[in-house]
Amino acid sequence: MASDKKVILITGGNTGLGFEIAKALYQSEIPYEIIIGTRTVSKGEDAIATLNKEIPQSASSLSVVQVDLTSDESIEKAIETISSRYGRLDALVNNAGGSFDSQIQEGKMTLREGFNATWDLNVSGTHVITSLAVPLLLKSFDPRVIFITSGTSTLTETENATHPNLIRINGSPPAGWPKPKVGLAVTAYRSAKTGLNMLMREWHRILKNDGVKVWAVSPGFLATGLGGIGPEKLKEMGARDPSIGGQFVRDVLQGKRDEDVGKAIRSDTIQPW
């Protein structure tokens, strides 16, 4: 059934930044069909219950679709469901992702397993769902695709150690091998997000003449559950409330950064490559 509301799919929408994006849209006066993409339907339903409790009145509607970015079958079924329900997709927010660096560091995954899992989820799965969503996006009068990137992905800033957070990820450990297992492990994650930036550039190129607006959004250092560190620990390291990132993505969806299509953007600037 076609909807007059803009139809937006948020992958990984039941928790962390994805949940905050859904919340920011649900709080907006603009009506949306907000689809929470989640690996576990019950968790998506719990997220909807929380949103309805926190925001009793909204112009928007919420629904859940099961989607696991590591499964082509799951992605295909999710797109089929959206097609049958709405007939189009106005925006795809490629938010789902994950970091497995800590599991590599702790010996729970081999180096190859951790790297493959990181790229499969953050890059390959994102590429597959974007590919399958294109026919629905092209039925929109204002199609938008957002790739959630990371401030750790910029090559330019790997030489920057002017801030404690940059020292954590860019500082070099003492000589010798093996290196001590201290600090924030991000090698696989930041490498994958750098790859995701190129994927965004490719989709910007591929869909430019179709009028699809594409960005990589770098939401900033947020206190989410990413990487298994825990929000409280991240806050001690200077992470901001995830709601700030959710509001930023909402602003992009509502046209406030249309002049920066094809770029990796931060809330107040363009992120260097």
- Backbone φ and ψ for 92, nearest 5 degrees, come out as -115, 120
Token pair for 134: 């294109």
Active-site residue (options: 26, 189, 191, 263): 189
Distance in Å from the first CA to the final CA of the chain: 41
| Active site (annotated) includes residue 193 | yes
Active-site residue (options: 23, 74, 102, 193): 193
- Backbone φ and ψ for 112, nearest 5 degrees, come out as -65, -45
| Active site (annotated) includes residue 83 | no
Token pair for 9: 């799919």
Type and span of the H or E element at 104: helix 101-105
Q: Could you tell me which of 148, 168, 157 has the C-alpha nearest to residue 237?
A: 168
What is the C-alpha separation between 226 and 220, in angstroms, rounded?
13
Query: Could you tell me if 144 and 134 are in contact, meaning their C-beta atoms sit under 8 angstroms apart?
Result: no
Rg (CA), the chain: 18
Query: Could you tell me if 35 and 82 are in contact, meaning their C-beta atoms sit under 8 angstroms apart?
Result: yes
| Active site (annotated) includes residue 189 | yes
Token pair for 235: 């806050």
**Other residues' Cβ atoms within 10 Å of the Cβ of residue 210:** 10
Query: Could you tell me if 271 and 264 are in contact, meaning their C-beta atoms sit under 8 angstroms apart?
Result: yes
**Other residues' Cβ atoms within 10 Å of the Cβ of residue 46:** 15
Active site residues: 150, 189, 193
